[in-house]
Amino acid sequence: MDWTFKCHGGVAAALGAALLVLVALTWLPGTLPLTVSGWPMAAIAVLLFPVFTSALVRMFLMRADRHLIWLAFRCLPRKVQTGLAALAISGVGITVIGTAAGEGNLQAAEVKDGRYFAFDTAPLARGTVEISQGQYQAVLESDQRSMLAIPGLLFIGAAYVVLTAGELRRADRGSTPS
């Protein structure tokens, strides 16, 4: 496998793991100071777009079917397979638990004039509602979990795709007659 595939996959996996660690930190008391401002989410979006898009382009250029992709993944070293599987399972688990333990129908918490508001997505009560400070904290943490977990899973998916594409490329180079 070329070093570019290894670097691309490593960066994607590291960014995904870092985001999952941040998601896990949202279960500690208090809110994460990083996500209150808007720049971390903008940085995640700026990093996610080229990493994920280039991973998909690399896999698309391989023109492989699902079975061949799975076989290529199985050819990766056992530690890489285990690491990617552990990251993916923990990311899905964190996302499912975060969604289930969320604040129900409330999202997008904000403070206006010292009062706390959130958007209620219930079918019959759709709109902005006033909430308590405790609910505000819970909604804010729930929003942080989803805003960090989903890009984390996409980074992990990009790592899987690019490392598998690199393995396919290595196998293609080994099978061509000289």
137 neighbors 22 (Cβ within 8 angstroms) = no
Percent of the chain with pLDDT over 90: 13
Using CA atoms, how far residue 35 sits from 109, 134, 141, in Å, is 13, 18, 10
Structural domain spans, the chain: 3-103+148-175
Across the chain, what does the average pLDDT equal? 80
Phi, then psi, of 127 in degrees rounded to 5: 145, 180
Digit-coded pLDDT (tens) for 19-61? 888 888 877 776 666 555 667 778 888 888 999 888 888 888 8
Give the per-residue pLDDT at 62: 80
Question: Does 144 score more than 90 pLDDT?
Answer: no
**CA 39, 91, 111 angle in degrees (round to 5)?**
40
CA 103 to chain centre: 21
pLDDT per residue as tens digits for the range 157-176:
999 989 888 888 877 776 65
Assess whether pLDDT exceeds 90 at residue 122: no
Question: Which range has the top average pLDDT, 9-18, 23-32, 92-101, 122-131?
Answer: 9-18
